[in-house]
Amino acid sequence: MTPLRLVTRDVPPRTAWALEQAGLHPLLARLFAARGVRGADELDDALARLLPPSGLLGSDAAAVLLADAIGAGSRICVVADYDCDGATACAVALRGLRLLGADPATLSYVVPDRRVHGYGLTPQIVDLVVAAGADVLVTVDNGIASLEGVAHAQAAGLAVVITDHHLPVKNGDDVVLPAADVIVNPNQPGCAFASKHLAGVGVAFYVLLALRAELRERGEFGVAEQPRLDALLDLVALGTVADVVRLDRNNRCLVAQGLKRIRAGRVQPGVAALFAVAGRDPRQASAADFGFAIGPRLNAAGRLADMTLGIECLLSDDDARAHELAAMLDAINRERRTLEATMREDAEAQVDRAFVLSGDVEPALAVFDPSFHEGVVGIIASRLKDRLHRPSFVFALGQDGALKGSGRSIEGFHLRDALDLVSKRHPGLLVRFGGHAMAAGCTIAPADFETFRSALQGVAREGLDAATLERTLVSDGPLAAEHFDPATVRLLDGQVWGAAFDAPLFCDAVEVVSQRLVGEKHLKLAVRVGGVVRDAIWFGRVEPVGDRVRLAWRLGLDAYNGVERVQMIVVAAE
């Protein structure tokens, strides 16, 4: 484990005071000010505060094309991605098109199997769309990098609408876009949309907003009787949080609105069923439920089975069928956990052996084992990155005989750009690659694994300095004793937290009164803070801590026999 340094967020005192004067709870005022909120108006999550779809380049053109297609009775096929964002985006697109007047008989979808088809709109996927008899192909959460697939679709006579949020392909300094009829992507050149961090499901939702406006302009309905697209916001919120996109103001609004609807019982049967199998109460739904309970169950289908299961669950309007599919997703997720545990142990053993041989942790990690499952490599890469604070790639052998790698990075090291540099220095090494700053993927030949590892480490040595490689955890400092109560837990759980708007993490110097293992893998502690003894638990920790340490922890509730107890949920120690 890389040594950890705990630092405390800066809190602008004047801003915190102003937020408190505007009626905000004192603790929330402090937390929000530390996260960059400058005024109470930024916390207004009313739908009216959403950025208008007219600012999203391509949305108006997509609306015209789709309105014409609906009017002509054209067949529309949605091509989805096999993760939670892609599944929710697919469900949003299909449900939304139905709400806006498309004949359900003209709508279909295709989702790749990651082991068979790989990622994105490949020519093979286009052939499936053609076989379905479609006239219009609409991608959700993919397509911006599918140059060959879009060309194949155009040659087949399909109209192509790309809706995506990923970064486009670059050739040197030039951006290369697919030759689609319409592209809607906040990250395409020339798009001035202020929220560059929309998830794929967010982009799909915005296209529907533009389509509704276009149909309204054509006189299909008036404002009073227009379809209520807000009914889709539970799906939008789920996909946004699960894809770990930055929760800027616009995304926080989308998530907040989705949570409000779920808590009020206005929820798709599939989402309700997923809450049920996860043992979560939708009346107390939180963003954490999306990220740690609901999202993983959907993602498991794309990792180990077929994301069709997840999409069908989200599309079902029959409660019994939705619960049947949710139970299947839950079983697949349990299988995923077992597989992940074994793979993680093997990957960490590889890294530990390399450490023993070299005496140091390499600036970037790449591991491979023939037994690794392609669907879980991204999770293992994330675990390695968290444990060692290094950019990490994990590879598995694909069905086509190539190595499929998934990587996760740390702040300050742009992973997709690193792959681009590797490809320039070693032409032909990367069969394909793509992704973001923090997550990327690539395909290589088995014989090239060591070359890739060496090349990635070379780029990392140049791009990472000692400060970037230092594992730093940012906390909100101590929590005042008067806030250590169930009311504060509920207050915090009711807010929208996520990427770039992190959930509160407190830090205190404590005296450890007692510690013991529970369930053979969790460290249960009693700690003295300011003269008061509190309960604490560190999930997944088996090694004891010192008598006096600084703990980073979150506030949680432990309910037993109907009695609620507040506890510290420890995540790190210094």
Q: What is the mean pLDDT of residues 161-183?
A: 93
**Residue-averaged pLDDT of the chain:** 95
The pair of three-digit structure tokens given for residue 412, joined into one six-digit string: 């300050």
pLDDT tens, residue by residue, 339-357: 999 999 999 999 999 887 7
Point out the least confidently predicted range of 45-54, 429-438, 477-486: 429-438
CA distance 161 to 93: 12
Q: What pLDDT does 2 receive?
A: 67
Q: Is 392 exposed, middle or buried (0-12, 13-18, 19+ CB in 10 A)?
A: buried
Question: Which structural domains are found in the chain, ordered by start?
Answer: 47-332 (3.90.1640.30), 361-469 (3.10.310.30), 472-573 (2.40.50.460)
The dihedral formed by the CA atoms of 483, 486, 491 and 496, expressed in degrees to the nearest 10 = 110
The pair of three-digit structure tokens given for residue 403, joined into one six-digit string: 């190595």
CA distance 493 to 472: 25
- State the pairing for strand pair 107-110/548-560: unpaired
Q: In what order do the strands lie in the sheet with 159-163?
A: 107-110, 76-79, 136-140, 159-163, 182-184
Q: What is the mean pLDDT of residues 210-230?
A: 95
Q: What angle do CA 473, 476, 480 make, to 5 degrees?
A: 140
pLDDT tens, residue by residue, 500-515: 999 999 999 999 999 9
Task: Answer yes or no: is pLDDT of 360 > 60.
Answer: yes
Q: What pLDDT does 467 receive?
A: 87
Task: Answer yes or no: is pLDDT of 112 > 80.
Answer: yes
Place of tokens 């060959």: 148
Band of pLDDT at residue 1, cut at 50, 70 and 90: low
Q: For residue 356, give every residue at least 6 positions away whose Cβ sits within 8 Å of its Cβ, in sequence order, or none.
A: none
Q: For residue 491, give every residue at least 6 positions away whose Cβ sits within 8 Å of its Cβ, in sequence order, or none.
A: 25, 27, 28
The pair of three-digit structure tokens given for residue 132, joined into one six-digit string: 């379905």
pLDDT tens, residue by residue, 22-78: 999 999 999 999 999 999 999 999 999 999 999 999 999 999 999 999 999 999 999
Task: Answer yes or no: is pLDDT of 550 > 90.
Answer: yes
Q: What is the mean pLDDT of residues 8-33?
A: 97
Q: What is the mean pLDDT of residues 180-199?
A: 97
End-to-end CA separation in angstroms for the chain: 12
